[in-house]
């Protein structure tokens, strides 16, 4: 008797993945014995009832893969029918990807970029002050070395110019965060009702999603609604990643993972890959937060304008992606997003998780659409 093994491999992109070299991070691997069989034919027959294999990414880059091996040889399903996995949603979907969400003010992104520019200006000024004595010795003209009296002290003219540039975006960001908290409070007071979504047929990864949407109440401030079909990869379970890499959770984490952080004031939702602020300040009353965290790997189809009473037809992204996967390491997530454009206060999002069946053929994608993980840069 020889084992039929299902293997999961993942090297998930951390927060701001562009700063990382994928090959420097380890691949988390888990092997599970599906069953034991005497012949390849018996193993292939059993494999037809299993979810299909898939591969997203490359060995030298970010990687999410499910494969099957029998007697040391990789095997694939011969059954070309669609397959819906029966696992329930993982916890992060229930807490962070279902319900009403807000889109942060774009000023957060603008100020973040402005701060980067100010740092460059500061470094240039410091270098200029460092070499200015040499320029004077060489009888070259220098500027900005004069002093400016402020109170009882004299300050370099360059400092008077640069220091306000450093603190101004920080002050504005604090004000922007306070405005976001006020916006969240105002939104919660509205107590919006859940849209009624009726799916016309089961969802399959390579088929058009058909649905009807009805809003129990229509706010006069709403202009129009667009429906968007999105698929991506959610972070793996932090605890299982530590287990597969033989790491002690109480010690230094492996490359790409940070120390455990409180995530939205609820334990167990922090995947340990964050290295910065992914959203503005949020109210503690809302478990999971009011800002939708982008998946680090995700793609979406073209938006379709909602018309009352009509059936929405959402085309899935191409090339074809795997269907829904909800395991400890591999988490392929599909969702339907209703984006509501408002007169003021930014757009609203209703996020509806989807259980999508795998297409009949195996999926292999090499080019992965990456996202840095900041909510103000969401594609919606």
Looking at residue 262, its pLDDT comes to 56
Q: How far apart are CA 337 and CA 379, in angstroms?
A: 11
For the chain, 380 residues long, give each residue's pLDDT as a single digit of tens.
Answer: 899 999 999 999 988 888 889 999 999 999 999 999 999 999 988 888 899 999 999 999 999 999 999 988 899 887 778 999 989 999 889 888 999 999 888 887 788 778 888 888 888 888 887 888 888 888 878 777 777 777 777 777 777 777 788 888 888 888 888 988 999 999 999 889 999 999 999 999 999 999 999 999 999 999 999 999 999 999 998 888 889 999 888 788 888 777 766 554 455 565 655 555 677 888 877 777 888 888 999 999 999 999 999 999 999 999 999 999 999 999 999 999 999 999 987 889 999 999 999 998 889 999 999 988 777 777 66
Kindly state the tokens that stand for 247: 């790491």
Torsion of CA 279, 264, 274, 27, to 10 degrees: -130
Q: How far apart are CA 253 and CA 274, in angstroms?
A: 12
17 SS3 class: helix
Q: How far apart are CA 16 and CA 258, in angstroms?
A: 13
Find how far residue 36's CA is from the centre of its chain.
38
371 SS3 class: coil
How many residues are given for the chain? 380
Looking at residue 264, its pLDDT comes to 44
Q: 266 vs 91, 95, 242, 269, 337, CA distance in Å?
A: 11, 10, 20, 7, 25
Q: How far apart are CA 13 and CA 297, in angstroms?
A: 8
Looking at residue 65, its pLDDT comes to 97
Looking at residue 275, its pLDDT comes to 55
Among 359, 364, 301, smallest CA distance to 79 is for 359
Among 336, 241, 269, 275, smallest CA distance to 96 is for 269
């Amino acid at each position: 008797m020889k084992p039929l093994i299902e293997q999961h491999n993942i090297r998930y992109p951390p927060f701001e993945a562009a700063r990382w070299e994928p090959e420097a991070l380890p691949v988390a691997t888990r092997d599970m014995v599906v069953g034991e069989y005497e012949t390849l034919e018996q193993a292939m027959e059993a494999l037809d009832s299993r979810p299909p294999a898939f591969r997203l990414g490359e060995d030298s880059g970010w990687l999410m893969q499910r494969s099957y091996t029998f007697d040391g040889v990789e095997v694939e399903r011969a059954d070309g029918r669609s397959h819906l996995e029966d696992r329930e949603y993982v916890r992060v979907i229930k807490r962070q990807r279902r319900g009403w969400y807000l889109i942060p003010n774009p000023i957060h992104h603008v100020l973040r970029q402005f701060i980067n520019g100010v740092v460059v200006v500061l470094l240039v000024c410091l270098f200029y002050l460092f070499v200015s004595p040499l320029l004077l010795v060489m009888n070259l003209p220098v500027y900005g070395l004069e002093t400016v009296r402020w109170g009882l002290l004299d300050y370099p003219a360059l400092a008077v110019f640069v220091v306000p540039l450093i603190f101004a975006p920080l002050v504005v960001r604090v004000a922007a965060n306070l405005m976001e908290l006020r916006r969240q409070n105002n939104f919660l007071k509205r107590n919006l009702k859940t849209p009624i979504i009726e799916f016309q047929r089961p969802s399959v990864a390579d088929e058009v999603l058909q649905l009807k949407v009805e809003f129990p109440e229509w706010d006069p401030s709403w202009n129009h609604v667009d429906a968007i079909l999105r698929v991506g990869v959610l972070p793996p379970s932090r605890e299982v990643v530590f287990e597969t890499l033989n790491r002690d959770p109480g010690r230094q984490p492996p490359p790409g993972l940070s120390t455990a952080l409180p995530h939205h004031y609820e334990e167990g939702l922090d995947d340990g890959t964050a290295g910065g602020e992914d959203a503005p300040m949020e109210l503690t009353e809302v478990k999971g937060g009011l800002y939708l965290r982008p998946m680090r790997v995700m793609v979406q189809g073209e938006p379709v304008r909602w018309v009352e009473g009509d059936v929405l037809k959402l085309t899935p992204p191409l090339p074809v992606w795997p269907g829904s996967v909800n395991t400890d390491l591999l988490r392929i997530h599909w969702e339907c997003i209703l984006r509501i454009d408002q007169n003021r206060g930014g757009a609203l999002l209703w996020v509806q998780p989807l259980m999508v069946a795998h297409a009949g053929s195996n999926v292999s994608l090499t080019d992965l659409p990456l996202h840095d993980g900041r909510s103000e840069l969401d594609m919606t």
